[in-house]
Amino acid sequence: MKLYTCLKPDAIIVDCKATNTESLLKELIHHLKMNNRISDEDYIYKKLMEREKMGSTSVGNHSAVPHARIKDIKDVIVAVGLSRNGIIYSEIDKEVSHFFVLILAPNSSPIVHLQVLAAAATLIKKPGKWLSELLECQHPSDVIHVIQNYEEDDE
């Protein structure tokens, strides 16, 4: 699975304003709500924060993959946030993070959840300038193109 195939322009924020983990998650969820991708913002925020409290989803390379299993959604929802200033996502590693892949997976499909996580990890692990290219994007569709270009390098 490729990450770009899971992305829609209405689930991408190219210039997040948030300054910490809580406000970043709220900003991404609110964006999904405004685009009618989700219904219950508060429930989803609560599930994501519960997960962060069990252990940060910061994965290194200036990236984090906040995620939760959510009842009542049919298909996996993936959102991407880019923060030009970056935020300290994890108090443990204190690394400034710029790239966030939010994954909301239905309770019923642990395998799809793993595949999206794997696709995100494969991109994040790449050497090279993918992150600086993403941070230069002005439009959500540009983000999808940059990710697609890097993912197709694998083939």
Partner 1 sequence: MIKETIEITNKLGLHARASAKLSHLANSFQSDIYLVYHGDRVNAKSLLGILTLAASVGNPITIETDGKDEKEALNQIVNIFQSKFDEES
Q: Does 125 bind partner 1 (CB under 8 A)?
A: yes
Residue 49 structure tokens: 């924060």
What is residue 44's three-state secondary structure?
Answer: helix
Q: What is the 3-state secondary structure (H, E, C) of 79-131?
A: EEEEEEEEEECCCCCCCEEEEEEEEEEECCCHHHHHHHHHHHHHHHCCCCCHH
Which residue type does 65 have?
Answer: V
| Residue 37 CB, nearest approach to partner 1 (Å) | 22
| Residue 124 CB, nearest approach to partner 1 (Å) | 6
The CA distance from 69 to 111, in Å, is 12
Q: Does 49 bind partner 1 (CB under 8 A)?
A: no
In angstroms, how far is the first alpha carbon of the chain from the final one? 12
Q: Does 31 bind partner 1 (CB under 8 A)?
A: no
Q: Which of 3, 11, 13, 120 binds partner 1 (CB under 8 A)?
A: 120
The CA distance from 55 to 17, in Å, is 24
Q: Which of 42, 53, 74, 111 binds partner 1 (CB under 8 A)?
A: 111
Q: Per CB under 8 A, which region of 12-20, 22-30, 50-58, 77-85 contacts partner 1?
A: 50-58
Number of residues forming the site for partner 1 (CB under 8 A): 20
Kindly identify the residues of this chain, within the stretch 71-110, that bind partner 1 according to CB under 8 A.
110
Which residues contribute to the site for partner 1 (CB under 8 A)?
A: 54-55, 57, 59-61, 65, 67, 110-111, 113-115, 117-118, 120-122, 124-125
